[in-house]
Amino acid sequence: MNSESNYENQGHTSISRRQFLRRVTYASGGLVLMSGLRQASGTALAATPGKTGGTVTVAVMGDFASFDPFNMSWVNYPMTQVLYNQFMRYDHEMKLFPELAESWKTSQDGKTLTLKLKQGVKFHNGREMTSEDVLKNFDKARNKAEGIHMYPSTLTVESVKAVDKYTVDINFSKVTPEMLDVMEVMSTIAPESMASLKNRPVGTGAFKFVEWIPGDHATLERFPDYWDKPKPYVDKVVYKIFSDVDAMVAALQAGTVDVVISLPPKDYDRLKGSFNIVRGQTAANHYTLYLNPQKEPFVKKEVRQAIQWALDRQSVVDKILFGQSEPTVLLYPKFSLAYNPKFDGFYKFDLAKAKELLGKAGYGSGFKATIVAPTNYPELVDMSQLLQADLKKIGVELDVQPLDPAQWYPKLNGGDYQMTFSFAGNSHKYPTRMALGTAFRLANNPLWPAGPPKAYADAVNAANGTLDPAEQKKAFDRIQEVMLDEAWNLSVAWRYTLFASQKYVKGLDWSVDDQVALDSVWLDK
């Protein structure tokens, strides 16, 4: 089996996810194929500028946690595709294109991935990127203390070898069907800057770091030695940091910002005629309700299941997301390899059923609990209040505590809560990629310090360890069965990122994970 990328120096042809699965996920005479994805509403990746120069000001809700791209918290998303590059990237139809790797191939046994690096790529400090830099990035990713979200992604990486200055062999301990998904999210950091990623990052992206004034703004400037010439087209990027969503929207209306990431759904109808507003990637994220199984009363599974029945998902979509979503009990969309219609509607809104389960768990008279909600995502506060009202009808007294993002994120990442609404991603990629999410992880899971339920971990590992389509499907079903039964992460509705911009902003794009991309942006004014 030859799994070399179709991308060559002449006749550029991308390799699609369907092609990859045909080549890498082939076993026992069967193929595992991916259904087609709907094209997102973004602009083409190769926009032609009418003008160059100027500054684009991007409004973001909440400050950066750091400038470490291995920290894949949502607050860091706005900078990842701007400061850094990855080995390859998907377009909006999930076709795979080269980026820092100009080509790649897998071994016959599917356990070695060879990357041919693009030559002449420079870090922002002017030094050329080589295979030795890739090795040091994998060292960081595979270090439990430093790898953050990339650590669980690289658990099956056994060794990484520099074959020559521009060739890297990545050896896996077992078959890893999601290997290209890992490469697609792994940014390349200048190793000499790894100790200063809090406030002095060095990457290979279209823009380089200038300054960060916490709580106010971060400034990047055009990198003149960027490998993908003639990009970028603007001279400067300024991230304006907001803690109040209405103030952010007001800044867009006043013309003091050019782009808004995550426009609230409530403002869509009102503003769609005055600004460019587009949806991000289909199924890139979904809203979830996390219940902490380490804290009473959620130690009991029946209590967690009761909350599933008490979730009015359709009202969330209609009243809080203003129709800019669809309800879901599952974390996999219909085009996913893991989608199984038998799980649709597994839980419905049924307060009588919820109360019955509470009675079985010994909480027939209800209980008191606290749900924390970040103020930078007001829809999460609204969801909390909707749940509060419904739970009151069955005797549960829910205290809603809105928190500043600086207070909420440490609680989310540390598992320091009873309940919280949040959102998670990766449902649109290889189905086990969702196990990178904070509450879904097999390692460093804040809700399961000793590890998540064994049946769940076994199913994830089984899906990651076979190329047999029938065995994969069986494992995907088991993942969903366990999550629906254990009910610690409750899918609510799909989250569509709304990107809003002034009419003169052209070429705005985003990754398949809804990380904004600004290398093709130009200003028609």
pTM of the model: 0.79
**Residue pair 421/489 in contact by the 8 Å Cβ criterion:** no
pLDDT on residue 28: 25
Q: Which domains does the chain have, with CATH numbers?
A: 1-33+85-194 (3.90.76.10), 41-84+205-282+496-525 (3.40.190.10), 285-495 (3.10.105.10)
pLDDT on residue 25: 36
pLDDT on residue 436: 77
Residue with token string 């209609």 = 318
Residue 10 exposed, middle or buried by CB count within 10 Å (0-12, 13-18, 19+)? exposed
Q: Which amino acid is at 11?
A: G
> What stretches in the chain show pLDDT beneath 50?
1-46
C-alpha span between 56 and 206 (Å, rounded): 14
Please provide the size of the chain in residues.
525
pLDDT on residue 376: 84
pLDDT on residue 71: 93
Q: Report, in this order, helix, strand and coil percent for the chain, each rounded to 5.
A: 30, 25, 45
pLDDT on residue 234: 98
Q: How many other CB atoms sit within 10 Å of the CB of residue 395?
A: 13
